[in-house]
C-alpha cells in the first residue's frame, strides 16, 4: 500500500472524547460554564484581559469590525495575500478593503479606519512598525491570528499585540474545536460590545439593547478547546521540530526556498511553505503532482491574490496590482508539517524533493 502523508490532520484523542461525553451527559450544550472556562483559560494563555468565544474565525473578524462601527465610506487596509475571509469581513460592514502588498503607508487615505495584519502560516507579522503607523494615523489594529496560536513577537503572543485579535479553531489549525473562534483584547469596551453582538444584543435574558446576532460557541466546542489548549505548546514544539528537519533537508537544494523565520518571532508553522524558484527542475504545480504520486499531500496557500477572485473582480478590483503577492501566489507550496508527521516521513519528503534537485 502506498504511503500517504496528508497535508493536515487534527490531533484528537481520548481526552477530547471524554470532555465531549461529559458535556453531553450534562445536558448544557450552548455557551455555559465550559465556554466561560475556555475564555478565561485562553485569555490567560494569550496574556490579555478579555477573550470572547464565537462560532468561528470569520465571525471573530466580523464582530471585531462591527464593534468599530464602520461606515460605508470607511477603508480597512488588508493584505492581498491571505484567505479571502480577511477581506470579506470588511465587505460585510459595507466598508472598502484596500489591498496592500508590502508598503502599508502608501495605502492610507483620509478614509482609513483600521489595518488588519495577518500572522501568516504561523509567522507573526512585524507588529512594531504597524503599531507606529496605526498610532500616527489613529487607526485600529486588528490582528488576524487565525493561523498563529501560540506564536510570539518580541516575547508577546499574537492576539495581544493590537487593539483586538481574532483566532480560528478550524479543524486544521494548531489547536481545534472543530469549528470555533475567539476574540482577544485588553479593551474592556470592545470586549463588552462583541459579547453583546454575539448573543442577540442581550444585556440580560430577553433584554436586547443593540442589534445582535447568534454567534455563540457551543459547550462541546469549548470542552474540546480546553483540552487542546493544554496540548498547544507541545503540539507547536512538534511542528517546529518538523520544520527544523525540513529546513535542514532542503537547505542546499537549488530552487527551493524554505520559510523565512524572523529572529524576533516564534514561528509555530501552521503551514510549512516553500517557494519553488525558476531554477528548480519542476514548476510548482508539477512538483505538487509529483509529490501527490508519491503519497505526499501538498496545498497552495494561496493560488491567487484576493483581488483576483471573481467576486472581487465584479466589485471593480480588476485593476489592483500587488506584484509581490502575485509572484508569491505563483511559487508557494505547502508541505506536511503537522504533529502527526513522523521523523521517518519527514525524511521521505526530503528524499522526494532532493530527487529532482541538482544539489
* Mean pLDDT confidence for 286-315: 97
- CATH class entry, domain 14-228: alpha beta
Q: pLDDT tens digit string along 175-190?
A: 999 999 999 999 999 9
Report the residue count for the chain.
359
User: For residues 105 and 129, is the Cβ–Cβ distance under 8 A?
Assistant: no
> Could you give the CA distance from residue 86 to residue 80 in angstroms, rounded to a whole number?
9
Question: What confidence tens digit (pLDDT) does each residue in 201-246 have?
Answer: 999 999 999 999 999 999 999 999 999 999 999 999 999 999 999 9
Q: Which class in CATH covers the domain with range 232-354? A: alpha beta
Residue 214 has which C-alpha cell? 447568534
| Tens-digit pLDDT profile for residues 71-105 | 999 999 999 999 999 999 999 999 999 999 989 99
In what order do the strands lie in the sheet containing 96-100?
50-54, 181-185, 164-168, 140-144, 112-115, 75-79, 96-100
∠ Cα 34 40 41 (to 5°): 85
pLDDT of residue 257: 96
pLDDT exceeds 80 at position 1: no
- Tell how far CA 62 is from the center of its chain: 14
pLDDT digits (tens, 9 = 90+) for 133-181: 999 999 999 999 999 999 999 999 999 999 999 999 999 999 999 999 9
Q: Give pLDDT tens digits for 23-51.
A: 999 988 888 899 999 999 999 999 999 99
- Residues 187 and 141 sit within 8 Å (Cβ to Cβ): no
Residue 333's DSSP bridge partners are 274
Q: What percent of the chain has pLDDT over 90?
A: 95
For position 357, what pLDDT does the model report? 66
- For the chain, the domains span 14-228, 232-354
> For residues 226 and 234, is the Cβ–Cβ distance under 8 A?
no
- Give the 3-state secondary structure of the chain: CCCCECCCCCCCCHHHHHHHHHHHHHCCCECCHHHHHHHHHHHHHHCCCEEEEECCHHHHHHHHHHCCCCCCCCEEEEECCCCCHHHHHHHHCCCEEEEECCCCHHHCCCCEEEECCECHHHCCCCHHHHHHHHHHHCCEEEEECCCCCCCEECCEECCCCCCEEEEECECCCCCCCECCEEEEECCHHHHHHHHHHHECCEEECCEECCCCCECCCEHHHHHHHHHHHHHHHHHHHHHHHHHHHHHHHHCCCCCEECCCCCCCEECCCCCEEEEECCCCCCCHHHHHHHHHHCCECCECCCCCCHHHCHHHHHHHHCCCCCHHHHHHHHHEEEECCCCCCCHHHHHHHHHHHHCCCCC
CA–CA gap between residue 258 and residue 274 (Å, rounded):
5
Residue 255 in this model has a pLDDT that exceeds 60: yes
Mean pLDDT of all residues belonging to the chain? 96
Distances (CA, A) of 277 to 101, 252, 303: 20, 13, 16
pLDDT value at residue 32: 87
pLDDT, tens digit, for every residue of 116-133? Answer: 999 999 999 999 999 999
C-alpha cell at 171: 479543524
Residue 198 phi, psi (nearest 5): -75, -15
Amino acid at each position: 500500500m502506498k504511503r500517504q502523508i496528508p497535508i493536515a490532520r487534527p490531533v484528537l484523542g481520548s481526552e477530547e472524547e471524554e470532555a465531549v461525553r461529559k458535556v453531553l451527559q450534562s445536558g448544557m450544550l450552548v455557551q455555559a460554564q465550559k465556554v466561560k472556562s475556555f475564555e478565561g483559560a485562553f485569555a490567560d494563555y494569550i496574556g490579555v484581559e478579555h477573550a470572547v468565544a464565537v462560532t468561528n474565525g470569520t465571525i471573530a473578524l466580523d464582530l471585531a469590525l462591527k464593534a468599530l462601527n464602520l461606515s460605508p465610506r470607511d477603508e480597512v487596509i488588508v493584505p492581498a495575500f491571505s484567505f479571502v475571509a480577511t477581506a470579506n469581513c470588511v465587505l460585510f460592514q459595507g466598508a472598502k478593503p484596500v489591498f496592500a502588498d508590502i508598503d502599508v503607508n502608501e495605502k492610507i487615505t483620509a478614509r482609513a479606519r483600521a489595518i488588519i495584519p495577518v500572522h501568516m502560516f504561523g509567522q507573526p507579522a512585524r507588529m512594531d512598525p504597524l503599531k507606529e503607523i496605526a498610532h500616527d494615523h489613529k487607526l485600529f489594529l486588528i490582528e488576524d491570528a487565525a493561523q498563529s496560536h501560540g506564536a510570539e513577537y518580541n516575547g508577546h503572543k499574537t492576539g495581544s499585540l493590537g487593539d483586538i485579535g481574532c483566532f480560528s479553531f478550524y479543524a486544521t489549525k494548531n489547536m481545534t474545536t472543530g469549528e470555533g473562534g475567539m476574540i482577544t483584547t485588553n479593551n474592556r469596551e470592545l470586549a463588552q460590545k462583541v459579547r453583546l453582538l454575539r448573543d442577540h444584543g442581550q444585556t440580560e435574558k430577553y433584554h436586547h439593547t443593540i442589534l445582535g446576532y447568534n454567534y455563540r460557541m457551543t459547550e462541546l466546542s469549548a470542552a474540546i478547546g480546553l483540552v487542546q489548549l493544554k496540548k498547544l505548546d507541545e503540539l507547536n514544539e512538534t511542528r517546529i521540530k518538523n520544520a527544523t528537519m525540513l529546513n535542514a533537508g532542503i537547505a542546499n537544494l537549488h530552487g527551493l526556498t524554505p520559510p523565512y523565520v524572523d529572529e524576533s518571532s516564534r514561528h509555530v508553522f501552521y503551514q510549512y511553505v516553500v517557494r519553488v524558484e525558476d531554477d528548480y527542475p519542476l514548476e510548482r504545480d508539477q512538483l505538487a503532482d509529483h509529490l501527490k504520486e508519491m503519497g505526499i499531500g501538498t496545498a497552495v496557500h494561496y493560488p491567487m491574490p484576493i483581488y483576483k477572485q471573481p467576486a472581487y473582480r465584479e466589485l471593480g478590483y480588476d485593476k489592483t496590482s500587488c506584484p509581490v503577492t502575485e509572484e508569491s501566489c505563483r511559487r508557494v507550496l505547502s508541505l506536511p508539517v503537522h504533529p502527526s508527521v513522523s521523523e521517518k516521513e519527514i525524511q521521505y519528503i526530503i528524499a522526494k524533493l532532493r530527487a529532482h534537485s541538482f544539489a
